[in-house]
Amino acid sequence: MSTLLFDEPGPRARRRIRVATVAGVLVLLALLALAVRQFAANGQLAAERWQPYATWPMWRYLLGGLWSTALAAVVSAALAMAAGIALALGRLSRRRWVRLPSAAYVEAVRTIPALLLVYLVLFALPRYGLDLPLFWKLVVPLAVSNAAAFAEIFRAGILSIERGQGEAALALGLTHGQSMRLVVLPQAARRVLPSIVSQSVGLLKDTSLGFVVSYAELLYSGKVLANYNGLLIQTYVVVALVYLVVNASLSALARSLDRSAAGGGGPRRRKITRVPR
């Protein structure tokens, strides 16, 4: 194996690698021992404190929370994607009065924390007589903030389609709208699919704001459960593991989509554009 930073190791390098391996493993074991000691010293390893999470009623409750999480994520993803496509087309429009507001929306929303939007919907809108149901109090701010991210992904996708595609469609007599809808967008959508899945993982992570809204998604269900049975760290560890399994599977899906999309076209490898969180 030869990469950017090292060649096939020789005898000395192999010795150094062995030393680093042993040191790394020792540090890991020390950390693990420390964690186990802290858990044990505070009585958190006792079987009866973990045993509840081997029973079905607990899991039924948590899976109910996961279902609500999925529902909120799917609905806000659908709204955010629709708005994102509209904003992307708006930003690429030839008309200035469409282009400028779309750009302003994307740039402004990018710099407002989702939690501030949630507070706005929670505490500000009711004063103006708009008291949404709990579900929408979570979904609306998430859709508003993620629409900007989806817009940027779709815009990048549309711009990545070869100019000739749109020009050929126009030459065949399609209108501008038709060529966008029938020729450019379908190709762009396929191309940005991995980034869309990756962004949806981010959106799924954002649904944990249900904790603030008190919408009974996974994290809030965990809070309710922890307040009820007093098993704080156990409950939150289990909740974290559920999030990890779901999101890691989705991320793996994004990667395999990316590979299969790049696979046909030779060695050219596209990267998933991941919006930092």
Partner 1 sequence: MSALLDHLPEVWQGLVVTLQMTAASFAGAAVAGLVIVAMRVGPVPVLRAVATVYVETLQNLPLLVLLVLAVFGLPEIGLKAGLTTTAVVVIALYEGAYIAEALRSGVNAVSAGQGEAARALGLTFGQSLRHVVLPQALRTVVQPIGNIFIALTMNTSLAAAVGVVELTAAANRVNLLEARPIPVFVGAGLAYAAIAACAGFVTGRLERRLAVAR
Angle 227-233-235 from CA coordinates, rounded to 5°: 60
Q: Would you give the distance in Å from CA 94 to the centre of its chain?
A: 32
Binding characters for partner 1, 240-269, by CB under 8 A (x = yes): x--xx--xx--x------------------
Q: Of the candidates 136, 148, 134, 238, which has an alpha carbon nearest to the alpha carbon of residue 202?
A: 148
Tell me the per-residue interface mask from 149 to 188 with partner 1, x by CB under 8 A, - otherwise: ----------------------------------------
Torsional class of 23: left (φ above 0), alpha (ψ -120 to 50), beta (otherwise): alpha
Cβ proximity of 79 and 138 under 8 Å: no
From the list 60, 95, 127, 163, which residue makes contact with partner 1 (rule: CB under 8 A)? 127
Q: Nearest 5°: phi and psi at 215? A: -85, 130
130 binding partner 1? (CB under 8 A): no
Distance of closest approach, residue 88 Cβ to partner 1, in angstroms: 18
Closest to partner 1 by CB, 62 or 201:
201
Residue 152 one-letter amino acid: E
For partner 1, which is the closer residue by CB, 7 or 48? 7
Question: One symbol per residue from 43 to 72: x for binding partner 1 (CB under 8 A), - otherwise; what is it?
Answer: -x----------------------------
Measured between alpha carbons, how far is 153 from 156 in angstroms, rounded to an integer?
A: 5
Query: In the numeric block, which tokens belong to residue 201?
Result: 């993982």
Give buried/exposed letters for 239-265 (b at 16+ CB in 10 A, else e). Answer: beebbeebeeebeebbeebbeebeeee
Query: In this chain, which stretch among 5-13, 71-79, 92-100, 130-138 interacts with partner 1, using CB under 8 A?
Result: 5-13
User: Nearest CA to 121 among 231, 209, 52, 198?
Assistant: 209
Which of 116, 172 has the CB closer to partner 1?
116
Cβ proximity to partner 1: between 115 and 261 the closer is: 115
Note whether 113 binds partner 1 by CB under 8 A.
yes
Q: List the end-to-end C-alpha distance of the chain, in Å, as a whole number.
A: 34
Q: Residue numbers of the site for partner 1 (CB under 8 A)? A: 3-7, 9, 13, 17, 20-21, 24-25, 28, 35, 38-39, 41-42, 44, 108, 110-116, 119-120, 123-124, 127, 201, 204-209, 211-212, 219, 222-223, 226, 232-233, 236-237, 239-240, 243-244, 247-248, 251, 271, 274-277
